[in-house]
Amino acid sequence: MQKKATFIPKDSNPLYEKFINYIMQRGKKTVARRIFNDSMTMIGEKTKQDPAKIFNQALDNIKPQMEVKPKRIGGAVYQIPREVDANRQITLAFRWLIGAIRSGKGSPIAEKLANEVMQAAEGAGTAIKKKEDTHRMAAANKAFAHYARY
């Protein structure tokens, strides 16, 4: 019987723990941790590189720089572009990554997570498309940026 290679983080990285909490549903943290570890193992096997580096590269690629926020001014609602702070960048990246893997059907969630992370590290995938759409919307509404001070 062949021993299965597993991804074991060198230390408990707070970023990994936070992502595991985002994966978790109904308080099943052990299941969420297994999904994360299995997907990191798959990434390591498929790419022959350090899965932690690929995961961090994927997160950096998914993090948005700009977003739009609706603001009501004089009876009209404007989509005002604004910069995203660091904590919200991580939150949105996690949310978009989880949304992308949960929307797909078919394969196990660990496999979908591994594929989405590898695609995001290369600059492709559903989560990257969400980021690009957000940036496109912010660029289109740049004319309303002067309302941000109100």
Question: Mean pLDDT per segment of 10 residues, for the chain of length 150 residues?
Answer: 57 87 94 94 92 94 94 92 94 95 89 94 93 94 84
pLDDT of residue 148: 80
pLDDT of residue 106: 86
pLDDT of residue 61: 95
Residues 33, 143: Cα–Cα separation, whole Å: 44
Please state the pTM of the whole predicted model: 0.86
pLDDT of residue 43: 94
12 is written with which tokens?
Answer: 């408990």
Q: Tell me which residue of 86, 88, 70, 66 sits closest to 78, measured CA to CA.
A: 70
pLDDT of residue 149: 75
pLDDT of residue 120: 95
pLDDT of residue 105: 84
Q: Which domains are present in the chain? A: 14-149 (1.10.455.10)
119 in Cβ contact with 125 (< 8 Å): yes
